[in-house]
Amino acid sequence: MVKTHETPGTHGDLVVLSNVNKHFGALHVLKDINLRIARGEVVVVIGPSGGGKSTLCRAINRLETIDSGEIAIDGKPLPAEGRELAALRADVGMVFQSFNLFAHKTVLQNVTLGQIKVRKKDKHAAEERARALLDRVGVASQADKYPAQLSGGQQQRVAIARALAMEPKIMLFDEPTSALDPEMINEVLEVMQQLAREGMTMAVVTHEMGFARSAANRVVFMADGRIVEETTPDQFFSNPRTDRAKDFLSKILHH
Ligand SMILES: Nc1ncnc2c1ncn2[C@@H]1O[C@H](COP(=O)(O)OP(=O)(O)OP(=O)(O)O)[C@@H](O)[C@H]1O
Ligand SMILES: [Mg+2]
């Protein structure tokens, strides 16, 4: 058997991308991406617009197919379709910039639906878990409302609870706070900080440098479809190696 790289204290890597390539027509959006995320690790992905960050996240739970290379979660290649794909989507929780809640379902129903349909839980158990999670993200009192009746920050916290309800192995966040008013950003970041402290494996696309500095184990800087730098937050912010990263940081830190 081939011995794979193992991070000390873990049981190997939870997510492994090997030589992943993706095109949209003539546009090469993911160029030979190699990325490993260990169990319990928090990876922040940052970089200029159009660099492929969202496509990378979407590829990890197969909302986008890839042209070549391999993606494995927990040692298994991504399934292509059917029940296994639904299970993968539950294992890989995803929170988007736009909250993506079901508009015609209550908050409680939003958080129970997947548990019942995909995880085959009975309604009572699903509701119990949903209420506990809504409490944990601070929106327990909103359970019977519809998404449109909530603030953006509350909706985003419901979206996090909904993903957590599936007992995911990893959580992907794609700019979860960038559509929020400034006063709501922190309430969402705090929930994410808490998750990170509890040991959730997370990949987070964000321009929130405070979050990156305090929660990330590693920063991955992506530009033009490539991983250009991959290092600790301290190292990245204080001493970026490439001109591309220096240029990007000077723009986001001084405006
Ligand atoms: N469905 C699609 N069809 C065609 N091109 C696409 C599609 N989705 C993304 N692209 C293109 O792929 C490239 C990478 O897009 P992506 O959304 O992954 O970038 P990003 O790093 O997330 O950018 P941003 O910071 O603006 O969110 C861009 O040039 C984008 O226009
Ligand atoms: Mg994006």
Write the DSSP assignment of 127-164 as a string of letters. HHHHHHHHHHTT-GGGTTS-GGGS-HHHHHHHHHHHHH
Q: Is 54 in the pocket of ligand 1 (CB under 6 A)?
A: yes
Tens digit of each residue's pLDDT (9 = 90 or more) over 189-209: 999 999 999 999 999 999 999
Q: Is 29 in the pocket of ligand 1 (CB under 6 A)?
A: yes
Reported as a pLDDT band with limits 50, 70 and 90, residue 1 is very low
- Contact between 60 and 69 (Cβ < 8 Å): no
* Cross-strand bridge partners of residue 223: 226
Which of 23, 31, 33, 55 to mutate to test ligand 1, by most ligand atoms within 8 A of the CB atom?
Answer: 55
**What is the structure's pLDDT at 99?**
82
Q: Is 50 in the pocket of ligand 1 (CB under 6 A)?
A: yes
User: What share of the chain has pLDDT > 70, as a percent?
Assistant: 95
Residues with CB under 5 A from ligand 2 (ion): 53-54
Tens digit of each residue's pLDDT (9 = 90 or more) over 30-73: 999 999 999 999 999 999 999 999 999 999 999 999 999 999 99
Q: Which pTM does this prediction carry?
A: 0.93
**What is the structure's pLDDT at 17?**
97
Distance CA 111, CA 158 (A): 7
Ligand closest to 64 (CA) is 1
- Cα dihedral sign for 199, 172, 243, 253? negative
Q: Is 51 in the pocket of ligand 1 (CB under 6 A)?
A: yes
- Token digits of residue 75: 């040692």
Q: State the Cα angle at 30 between 27 and 36, rounded to 5°.
A: 175
